[in-house]
């Protein structure tokens, strides 16, 4: 092979490489180094406000309703959307919100094959499928398996016992109220909708008084 042929071959390869890079979709190139959106959260009174919720949902290309449902479940609290933000009930450490968002991205956004966020959630019967537009991979997204906790429903409530309960109401003095079997349990500092781990301190008949752990 002559020097001229070698030079021509090198130029052909270089041209092909440039053309291949040029043909890459902009969407894929832009997300080559994806970072989880930063949250703007603040505690205000007995609530926690996630100010840039709508922006986060847009960046992740996910339906706000589903993202909010996930956060409420994982944070074990209630909340409302208003003007592009979410107001959670209770004082929540912003770091905890960030960690839950990170988990959501890893499970429902990033492709497990190429690691890119260029994915879509599609429904196949009862199963959510994560399809990647970047590499064509797809995988099922399975919900969290329900764990069987030690609860007060299956046994007698005893002083000193540790249980997991759901706060169903708020009492007249502001305490959270859990109703389990024949028992009414009062939990100071708990908010409606929370699932909390408690220690029972005192039992009087069908009434119990507990502290959260």
Distances (CA, A) of 93 to 40, 99, 199: 12, 10, 22
Q: Which residues contact 183 (CB under 8 A, 6 or more apart)?
A: 152, 157, 203, 206, 207, 208
What is the reported pLDDT for 179?
87
d(CA 30, CA 133): 14
d(CA 67, CA 55): 12
d(CA 187, CA 177): 6
What is the reported pLDDT for 31?
43
CATH number of 41-141: 3.30.70.3150
Closest CA to 141 of 211, 62, 200, 27: 62
- Quick one: fold of 152-212? OB fold (Dihydrolipoamide Acetyltransferase, E2P) (2.40.50)
- Looking at the chain, the domain(s) classified CATH 2.40.50.140 span 152-212
| pLDDT tens-digit map of 4-20 | 444 444 456 566 555 65
- Looking at the chain, the domain(s) classified CATH 3.30.70.3150 span 41-141
Sites in the chain below the pLDDT cut of 50: 1, 3-10, 24-31, 145-154
């Amino acid at each position: 092979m002559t020097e001229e042929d070698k030079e021509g071959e090198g130029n052909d390869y270089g041209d092909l490489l440039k053309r291949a890079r040029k043909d890459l979709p902009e969407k894929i190139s832009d997300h080559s180094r994806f970072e989880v959106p930063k949250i703007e959260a603040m505690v205000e009174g007995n609530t926690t406000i996630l100010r840039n919720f709508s922006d986060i949902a847009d960046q992740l290309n996910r339906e706000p309703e589903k993202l909010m449902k996930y956060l409420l479940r994982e944070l074990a609290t209630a909340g409302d959307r208003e003007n592009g933000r979410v107001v959670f009930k209770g004082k929540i450490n912003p770091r905890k919100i960030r960690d839950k968002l990170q988990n959501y991205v890893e499970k429902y956004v990033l492709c497990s094959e190429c690691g890119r966020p260029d994915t879509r959630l599609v429904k196949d019967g009862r199963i959510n499928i994560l399809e990647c537009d970047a590499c064509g991979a797809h995988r099922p997204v399975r919900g969290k398996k329900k764990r069987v906790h030690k609860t007060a429903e299956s046994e007698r409530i005893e002083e000193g016992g540790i249980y997991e309960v759901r706060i169903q109401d708020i009492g007249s003095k502001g305490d959270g109220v859990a109703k389990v079997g024949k028992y009414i349990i009062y939990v100071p500092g708990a908010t409606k909708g929370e699932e909390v781990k408690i220690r029972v301190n005192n039992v009087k008949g069908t009434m119990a008084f507990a502290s959260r752990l």
